[in-house]
Chains A and B, each alone.
Chain A
Amino acid sequence: MKRIAILFLILLLSFPAAVLAEESYTFDVAETEKKPYHFGGYVELRPVLNVLDKDAALYQLQYYRDPRSTLMEWNGRFQLEGSYEKGIGSVFVKTNTDLRYSSFANGNERTAIFDGYGTLKPSPSWKFEVGKKTLKWGKGYAWNPVNFIDRPKDPYDPDLPIEGYIMATMDYIRSFDGPLKTFSFTPVIIPVYDHINDDFGVNNRVNAAGKVYLLLYDTDLDFIFAADGSRTARMGMDFSRNITTSFEIHGELAYIRDYQQQFLDANGTLQSRTQNVVNSLIGIRHLTTFDLTTILEYYHNGSGFSVVDMNNYYSYIRQGYNRYNSTGNSQMLNVAQNLATGGYGRLSPMEDYLQLRLSQKEPFDILYFTPAVTVMFNLDDQSYNITPELLYTGITNLELRFRAGFIRGSRDTEFGEKANDYRFEFRAGYYF
Chain B
Amino acid sequence: MLKTIVFFITLLMAFPVYALDGTALLKQVDRNLNPESYEMYRKLINVEPDGKKKEFTLFSVKKGADKVAALFLAPASEKGRSTLRLGDNMWLYIPNVGKPIRITSLQSVVGGVFNNADILNLDYAVEYDVARVEEGGKEYILHLKAKNKNVAYDQLKMWVDKGKKLPMKTECLTEANMLIKTLYFKDHKDFGGGIVRPAVIETDSPLYKGYKSVMIYAKIKKRSFKDEVFTLTYMPNLESLR
Contact = CB atoms under 8 A, between A and B. Distances in A.
B54 A127 contact: no
Interface string A156-200: 001111000000000101111000011010100000000000000
Chain A interface size range? 35 or more
Interface stretch (A63-71, A134-142, A225-233): A134-142
Contact of B219 (A29, A134, A173): A29
A245 interface: yes
A34 B130 CA distance: 40
B240 A121 contact: yes
Nearest to A125: B228
A261 B192 CA distance: 66
A394 B54 contact: yes
B236 to A, nearest CB: 9
A311 interface: no
Chain B interface size range? 35 or more
Given A160-B96, A245-B106, A287-B107, A32 B218 contact: yes
A431 interface: yes
Nearest to B76: A431
A365 B218 contact: no
Contacts of A396: 54-55, 75, 77
Given A136-B99, A161-B96, A365-B211, A173 B231 contact: yes
A367 B205 CA distance: 13
B108 to A, nearest CB: 8
Interface string B9-21: 0000000000000
A27 B231 contact: no
Given A242-B102, A245-B105, A399 B77 contact: yes
Nearest to A31: B57
Given A34-B242, A139-B99, A242 B106 contact: no
Contact of A32 (B41, B45, B97): B41
Contacts of A365: 208-211
Nearest to B67: A175
B3 interface: no
A213 B97 CA distance: 18
Given A31-B74, A242-B88, A135 B98 contact: yes
Contacts of A218: 87-89
A242 B240 contact: no
Nearest to B108: A361
Interface in A232-279: 240-242, 244-246, 248, 250
Nearest to A87: B240
B179 interface: no
Given A32-B41, A173-B233, A431-B75, 5 more contacts: A27-B41, A27-B217, A32-B219, A135-B98, A215-B231
